Structure formats: C-alpha cells, structure tokens
Structure 1
C-alpha cells in the first residue's frame, strides 16, 4: 500500500499545440498543469505539439506546480515519440490514457523506465492512470495496485459515458463511477481525481460536481478553463470547521495514546484509528497551504 498523495486540488489542461497559453498557465493558481499531447491535439499537429512542449519545458525553472504530461496511448507510435521528446525534462507525472489492463500499464511503465535508465539524472516519474474505458473501470482496483509508480487514478467521463448514451447529468451514474474509482484508489493507498466538466459557462454545475467529488473522497478535479481553478482550490481544501475538528482530534489522540487508550469519546463521537488518520491528513493539507482555522 502506497501513501504518496499528490496535492492537485486543481489541474489545468493545457493543449501542447497552444504555446501561447503556456505562460498564462504558469501564472495561474492551479496546483498542477497538465500539458496535453493526446486528445486536445489534432493528429496532424502531434509533432508540432511535442516540439512546442519540449522547447518550453527545457528552460522551465522550478515553479512550485506539479507538471503533468498526458501522453498518447501506449501501443501507438505517438506514445514512443512522446517519451523520447520528454526524456530529461522537468516532468513530475505522466498521465497515461486508455489504461485497459494490468499488462498494458506495466509495459508502458517499463518503456518509461527504459528512458530513465538512458537519462540517469531524471527523477523517477509518477504515473496518473485514466479510468476511461469500461474494462478499466471494472479492473480499477487491480490497475491502482499494479505498480508503485501509479500514484493516482483520474476519471475520464466522456469516454465512459458517451458510448453508452448515459447522460453526463445523471448524478447516480456519476456517483457509481466515482465510488468505484475512489475505493480502488483507497485500496492501493493512492489518490483519486475527478474528471473534466466541459460546460465551462455552467459555474454552479462545476461547483456541484466538485462538492460531490469531495464528499466521495476525491483529492481534486480537472479544470479545462482557468475560471474553474478557484472553485476547485476552494472546495478541495478543508473548511475552517473541518480543520478545527481535525486539530481537536489530533490533540485528543495524543492525550489518549499517552494514557494507552485506543478509542475514546470526543464531543460525543467515538474516535479511533480511521478517524485519526483522516484528521491527520486534513491537518497536513491545511498546513501545506498555511490555512488558518
């Protein structure tokens, strides 16, 4: 079980074919930037997009943001070209689309590792797997646990819903998918991140999905427009009441442990290990962003 959780309350998609957006993306408040070489780039512009991205990343100083690159699917010539182009560049996470089964993911990771062997100065890349096929959803728990480099699962709603004719607005369907992905991620000790919301002008719709994803234990949500970033950052942070309660739980736990007590009452609620672990995670997240209760 892994416990490395990437803090990505908001992750802004940036098409690699749009270099005029790169500087603006760096200046935004998103925790992570996901430069896209896959669906957002027309097939005829794949090579151009790779050249844009490598030129930008080559001289990129430390930014404080998590740098994600969504590569093309494993098994395509574009995937191999993406890895060659990205070798040695300051990338933190490879977002692997169309993760169908364990063997496919392991082969993709092996290809990534071969590139790192050729470039020993490169830091080990983390893998964010997209759960966006029927098979991947069914096998999500196995995919989440297939390799230590897999440190997050991310939902791809369009690829899951559109082929079935399931309405994007069907809250029951979304809840089913989120719970399946979140529980799979939890079994592996990694985070789950909610997928994109395409209706950019529907601010309240995006906010509602963020709130639902947070209730289901998700760590963040994709943003396809800068206007969504502030909402995601706000909602995927614990609020003042959550932080105050978490600090109270952690403080009470220290006293209980000193007395050899494993479970105890706090304001009428029974507290034991699962509640304490969650409280510690809330306090850690709040401390990272210097949030004051």
Structure 2
C-alpha cells in the first residue's frame, strides 16, 4: 500500500466507539485480544516499545494485521529516525490512521501524508494546538499528561494523597485538557481524552469519563482491558438522559424550532444541540455493543 498524499478528508476516520486501548506493537500475541475487547486498538510503536525492540515491532505490525477501521498506529515523534522507519513500515500495511506522538507543529502532522491524530503532550504542543488542529490531515486530537509534566520539569500531573483534591489533575494538566478540547471543536475535529494510568482506580476513571462526556470528548484512551467497560458505560447515556433528549427533539418539532420549556427548563438552540449529542452517543454506544466480540476469558 502507498500512503495517500495529504488532502481534505471528506470521509475522515472516526473512532468506532469510545474505548481506545493501547497495545504494545512488539507483543503481537496481544493484538487480537485487544481488538476483541476494545472499540479501537492503538498499536504503539513509541513509549510501549523499547528502542531495541522497534524493528521487531514493525515486523509484527506487518505480519499480524488487524481491522484497519478499528486500528490506529502510534508512531514516534517527527524528526526522529524511528518516525521515518515507522511510516515506511506502514506503507506495507492497510492501516490508514496514525497517532503522532509529541506533535508540536502543523508541519509534523501534514508530513505524515496520512490521516493523523495529533497527540498533544509537550508544552510546545499545547501552545500550538490551535494551529496543529487546523492541519489538513489532522482528523483528531489527544492529549497526554505525564510527558507534558515531564517537559515542564515537574514530577506529577495529579495531586498526591496528602494534598487537597487528591488524585485529580493539577491545573496545568486541566489547562492542556481544555485547550485540546477547544482546539478540536474549533477545527471540527474529534478529541480523545488521556489515559487514567492507575487502572485499579475505578472511581477515578469513572469520574474522568463523566467529565469527558460532559465536555464532548469522543473517546477515552486506556491502557488495560479492565478499563474498557467502565469507559463504555460512561459514554452510554442513561435512560433518564435518553428520555430527556427525545422530549427535547419532539418538542422542537412541535414548536417549530422556537424556544419552549420542559419541566421548567428553557429549551433553545444550544440545549437542542446537547440533546442531539445525547442521541448520537446512544447510537454510537449501540453500534459499539453490536460490533463488540465476547470478552476473552483469559
């Protein structure tokens, strides 16, 4: 396969569901298990693979293909030798979407010449995120907390157990998260929320998913299969939300698109769009549940 020249992607790729699971590219025995469990697999050629294992990882990427519609390949940062070698390996696969690690310029995104999710995880990337999001082949954004804080010379993206707001993001991480979401929306691209690295912290993940949904994130990345169902459940609207959304849509049709009220709540254009978003999440959740294979038993 020859990588396509960058162009305006009228039918740009989008996540098949909200749970995007990272899988080390040098562990091909895990590929199918990850695909069976998650909505999207992110085959990782960067941080999850030791530099000395990247040749084997690229060979595995080629030899063990997954469904390209449900697979993203995270490649190494622009300007590195591994970046070039990663793109060369992709030319021997049917994968059509990459995640560019440590994206810092719009040029580094367009240079891939393939649909690209820009991973914003450095101070420079955060400062330039609006320009990056506008890139012609940038189809979405994701942000990363730990590399960002390392780039600041810090030691933790979250408040510690003995600090107020224990376990939640520090303000600089929250700023990056907001900046990524705003830039994605302004450019009409989807946004993926960062991983919750403590996979044992179910309540913390659940809270972050709830917040991501409230802010219009399309998906949440994860590092452990046990996180998948928590993410899916968080993105799936409750029966009460669905009932409210349907009443809003029906009311708008009845009142001809004008302002009206439901149970004392004024319904206007922005609220109508929120109701549409709830129904869209419900449809995506239903599609994800239909396509998902049974979870592995081992």
TM-score (norm 2): 0.81
Stretch deviating more after TM superposition (77-86 or 265-274): 265-274
Deviation per CA, 1:104-158: give whole Å up to 9, x if none.
222x23xx3xxxxxxxxxxxx43111010111111212211122x2221101111
CA contact (8 A) 1:67 1:90 kept: no
Counterpart of 2:196 in 1: which secondary structure?
coil
User: How many residues are paired up?
Assistant: 268
Partner of 2:164 in structure 1? Answer: none
Q: 1:205 to 1:285 in 2, by over 3 A?
A: closer
1:77 corresponds to 2:81: yes
Residue of structure 2 in register with 1:229 after alignment: 228
1:86 corresponds to 2:90? yes
1:23-54 deviations in whole A, cap 9, x for unaligned? 211221x1110000111111111110000111
> Partner residue of 1:203?
202
Report the more deviating stretch, 223-232 or 192-201.
192-201
Matches within 5 A, 1:88-127: 89-106=93-110, 108-109=111-112, 112=113, 125-127=114-116
Structure 1: stretches of 5+ with no match in the other structure: 113-124
Residue 27 (str. 1) matches residue 36 (str. 2):
yes
**Conserved 8 A contact 1:145-1:188:** yes
Q: Deviations over 1:178-211 (max 9, x none)?
A: 2111111111112211112222222222222222
Q: Please give the alpha-carbon distance, in whole angstroms, between the structure 1 residues aligned to 2:214 and 2:155.
A: 22
Cα distance between partner residues in 1 of 2:211 and 2:24: 27
Structure 1 CA distance for aligned equivalents of residues 186 and 124 of structure 2 = 18
More helix by share: 1
Q: For 1:280 and 1:159, how far apart are their aligned partners in 2?
A: 35
The aligned counterpart of 2:186 is 187
Q: Which residue of 1 aligns with 2:142?
A: 154
SS at match of 2:255: helix
Residues 151 and 190 of structure 1 are in contact (CA less than 8 Å); yes or no, is this contact kept in structure 2?
Answer: yes
On the 8 A contact 1:15/1:35 being kept in 2, the answer is: yes
Cα distance per residue 1:244-288 (max 9 Å; x no partner): 21111111122233xxx4333233222222222232222122123
CA distance in 1, matches of 2:269, 2:70: 31
Q: TM-score scaled to structure 1, two decimals?
A: 0.83
Give structure 2 stretches of 5+ with no counterpart: 1-7, 160-168, 288-298
User: Which residue of structure 1 aligns with residue 162 of structure 2?
Assistant: none
- SS of the aligned residue for 2:272 comes to helix
Q: Match of 2:4?
A: none
Tell me if structure 2 keeps the 8 A contact 1:3–1:189: no
User: Quick one: distance in 2 between partners of 1:27 and 1:136?
Assistant: 33
